[in-house]
């Protein structure tokens, strides 16, 4: 059975990609909760402003809803998955800019917190790209 629907821009039954999107959504909810509800305590621990952490955490809930919605669709739109890849890449660049740029002055723990996010979202982006390629190659089989 094919993992790609009759449209080349959508996928059906791409279980690897679905699992990656579900994991991305779960991690985003956890990180979002930590940042949104722990912004003030994290400020003192990481030397990152709560006024930045709270909205960033809330934005992760929106992103999580999006990728979980994608994962649960009977037909996953290719463009939606690519949007998740791009959002993950932008998040990584933003975290690097915050960790090592001149706008904020996170302490070493704050920089580590941000670098862990970079590694995590780049890993999810790469797995999503692999899932897209895997689904495409299975469609051609």
Q: What dihedral do alpha carbons 113, 55, 72, 75 form, nearest 10°?
A: -100
Coil, helix or strand for 117?
Answer: helix
pLDDT one-digit tens code per residue, 43-62: 999 999 999 999 999 999 99
CA distances from 82 to 107, 108, 128 (A): 33, 33, 8
pLDDT one-digit tens code per residue, 83-133: 999 999 999 999 999 999 999 999 999 999 999 999 999 999 999 999 999
Asked whether the beta carbons of 116 and 49 are under 8 A apart, the reply is: no
Confidence of residue 6 (pLDDT cuts 50, 70, 90): very low
User: Could you give the CA distance from residue 16 to residue 22 in angstroms, rounded to a whole number?
Assistant: 10
Residues facing 12 on adjacent strands: 75
* E strand intervals along 46-99: 75-77
């Amino acid at each position: 059975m094919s993992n790609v629907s009759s449209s080349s821009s959508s996928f059906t039954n791409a279980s690897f990609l679905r699992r990656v999107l579900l994991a991305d959504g779960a991690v985003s909810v956890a990180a979002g909760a930590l940042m949104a509800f722990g912004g003030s305590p994290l400020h003192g621990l990481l030397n990152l402003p709560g006024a930045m952490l709270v909205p960033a955490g809330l934005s992760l809930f929106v992103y999580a809803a999006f990728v979980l919605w994608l994962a649960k669709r009977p037909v996953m739109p290719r463009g939606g998955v690519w949007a998740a890849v791009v959002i993950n890449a932008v998040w990584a660049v933003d975290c690097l800019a915050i960790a090592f740029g001149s706008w904020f002055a996170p302490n070493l723990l704050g920089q580590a917190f941000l670098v862990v996010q970079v590694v995590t979202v780049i890993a999810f982006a790469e797995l999503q790209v692999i899932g897209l390629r895997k689904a495409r190659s299975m469609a051609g089989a």
